[in-house]
């Protein structure tokens, strides 16, 4: 795909299964135009120490059973490290597992040392409602 050729990329549970998250995000950033948007839904390591510990302990088994998925990954840190500017983040609990739903943009540099995000030329419609809990256990 050509460089800077897309306005948006949607990634749903992609980073948690990628063998190289940095390489995946680098490719996403390469194909997005400046100001382009990454919309993501990913697992997220819990901020709670005990839950985070459980995620880490269960991750090797989870990964073997579910095709390489790593629920203890820190998607937000990886997205930031790849040079995206995170614009929105919403925690989502699905079947007791923490996820994040959000948007991040490729920064636009106007002058050396100055970085900002620009609105998309072809803005994607915003979701009508945010889901805080996608599934409830009975």
> How many residues comprise the chain?
138
pTM of the model: 0.74
Backbone angles phi, psi at 103, to 5 degrees: -130, 145
Q: Is the pLDDT of residue 57 over 80?
A: yes
Longest dimension (CA), the chain: 55
Q: Quick one: pLDDT at residue 10?
A: 98
Q: What is the mean pLDDT of the chain?
A: 82
Choose from 42-46, 104-108, 123-127 the range with maximum mean pLDDT. 104-108
Buried b / exposed e along 123-135 (16+ C-beta atoms within 10 A): eeeeeeeeeeeee
Q: Quick one: pLDDT at residue 59?
A: 85
* Residue 103 structure tokens: 């948007």
Tell me which fold the domain 6-116 belongs to. Rossmann fold (3.40.50)
Q: Quick one: pLDDT at residue 93?
A: 84
Q: How many CB atoms lie within 10 A of CB 26?
A: 12
Query: What residue segments make up the domains of the chain, in order of their start?
Result: 6-116
Q: Report, as an integer, the average pLDDT of 49-72.
A: 86
Give pLDDT tens digits for 3-18: 999 999 999 999 999 9
Q: Report, as an integer, the average pLDDT of 93-103.
A: 88
| Residues 6+ positions from 112 with CB-CB distance below 8 Å | none
């Amino acid at each position: 795909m050509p460089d800077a050729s897309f306005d948006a990329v949607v990634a749903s549970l992609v980073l948690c299964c990628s063998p190289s998250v940095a390489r995946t995000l680098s490719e996403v950033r390469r194909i997005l135009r400046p100001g382009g948007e990454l919309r993501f839904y990913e697992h997220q390591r819990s901020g709670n120490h005990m839950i985070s510990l459980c995620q880490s302990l269960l991750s090797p088994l989870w990964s073997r059973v579910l095709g390489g998925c790593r629920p203890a990954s820190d998607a937000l840190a990886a997205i930031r490290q790849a040079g995206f500017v995170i614009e929105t983040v919403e925690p989502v609990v699905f079947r007791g597992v923490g996820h994040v739903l959000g948007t991040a943009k490729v920064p636009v540099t106007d002058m050396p040392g100055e970085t900002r995000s620009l609105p998309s030329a072809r803005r994607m419609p915003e979701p009508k409602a945010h889901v805080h809990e996608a599934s409830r256990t009975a």
